[in-house]
Amino acid sequence: MEPRVLEIRLPAEWEPQSGVMLTWPHEQTDWAPVLDEVEPCFVAIAQAIVAHERLLIVCRSVEKVRFALGAIDESRILFCEIPSNDTWSRDHGPITVFVNETPYCLDFTFNGWGLKFPANEDNQITRRLFDQNVLASNILYQSMLYMVLEGGSIESDGAGTMLTTSQCLLSVNRNEYKSCAEIADYFQMIFGIQRILWLNHGYLAGDDTDSHIDTLARFCDQQTIAYVQCNDPNDEHYNELALMEKELQAFRTLNGEPYRFIALPMAEAVYDEEGKRLPATYANFLIINDAVLMPTYNSPLDEIAQAVLQTAFPDRKILGINCLPLIKQHGSLHCVTMQFPEGILCK
């Protein structure tokens, strides 16, 4: 009898979704001093999502979140009370794969981006989601806690290609004991990918993630990559982003064709109270059903970025959401969300 062939696939973000996960800020997170400022940003994200699909809100208190949300269609919202350290769902949420069309939610170790921040509660959220039965009954749980991996560090085109950065995946206190080749072999086994496109350049000032790919370059479809371009030689990002651009332009699709590239503008510099630059980026957009949620920063460049991104998604509405409050904790819109493919959330 021949052994059964496993067909494993990591879906692309633009595929049909059953919903999106948000982990709500609270008084015990780093958001405490600016909770009244950041909560309206989460409300705006929640409102945009429920207009298109379902929303899973992980929170400490359903009552407090309901009060913050105000008048909203709760028929599309699932609430789940789970302790949390912070709000970065992209990195502590489950990563969904399909194995012979059976959905699995993979639970990797989240260690606060290489032990930079406490993550003892966040690292348990995926398992606790299963304990509370908010995912469909046919979804299988798979612990992958022997590897540190954040969702923001990988991009999938849904057809066998992954885009990532060596700065993150090989960084200290994550998986530095593994080589690029070993990680590629491992990812081929668990994600079913055929290849990894590695970026060795590119960064954002103020970034805590060691260059997550979702702050720098994103698949928009199997032939298109949107990326951050810096045209100002006096900007501290200029050299690294120029080198990243050259790396990107050398990549080819699985068919050997050049990619189509969408150059997003480098966001206008934003600084914190101590004068340190914050990691504002237009690449941190979220693709949802029939729309794309794009971070804005109260800048004239917002409109330009929105028009550019529209060329990558001609059939989706581009919705801008003010994320100035989010970048105060060094993340943006995509970082606080995690999408679920169709059929994952309970109905």
| Domain range summary for the chain, segments of one domain joined by + | 8-341
**CATH fold for the domain made of 8-341:** L-arginine/glycine Amidinotransferase; Chain A (3.75.10)
Note whether 165 and 199 are within 8 A (CB).
yes
Q: How far apart are CA 236 and CA 324, in angstroms?
A: 20
What pLDDT was estimated at residue 118?
95
pTM of the model: 0.97
What pLDDT was estimated at residue 6?
83
Question: Average pLDDT per run of 10 along the chain, which is 347 residues long?
Answer: 78 98 96 96 98 97 95 93 97 97 96 96 96 92 93 98 96 89 93 96 96 98 98 97 98 96 98 95 98 98 98 98 97 98 90
Task: Pull the structure tokens for residue 31.
Answer: 């958001």
Report the SS3 class of residue 69. Answer: helix
Say which residues have a Cβ less than 8 Å from residue 34's Cβ, sequence separation at least 6: 325, 328
Q: How far apart are CA 15 and CA 27, in angstroms?
A: 35
Note whether 223 and 259 are within 8 A (CB).
yes
Q: In what order do the strands lie in the sheet with 217-221?
A: 217-221, 224-229, 260-265
What pLDDT was estimated at residue 5?
73
Q: How far apart are CA 21 and CA 82, in angstroms?
A: 13
What pLDDT was estimated at residue 4?
67
What pLDDT was estimated at residue 20?
98
Say which residues have a Cβ less than 8 Å from residue 2's Cβ, sequence separation at least 6: none
What pLDDT was estimated at residue 185?
93
Backbone angles phi, psi at 47, to 5 degrees: -60, -40
What pLDDT was estimated at residue 84?
97
Q: How far apart are CA 180 and CA 86, in angstroms?
A: 30
Closest residue by Cα to residue 92 from 320, 347, 335: 335
Closest residue by Cα to residue 127 from 50, 189, 58, 46: 58
Report the SS3 class of residue 59. Answer: strand
Note whether 199 and 140 are within 8 A (CB).
no
Q: How far apart are CA 275 and CA 148, in angstroms?
A: 32
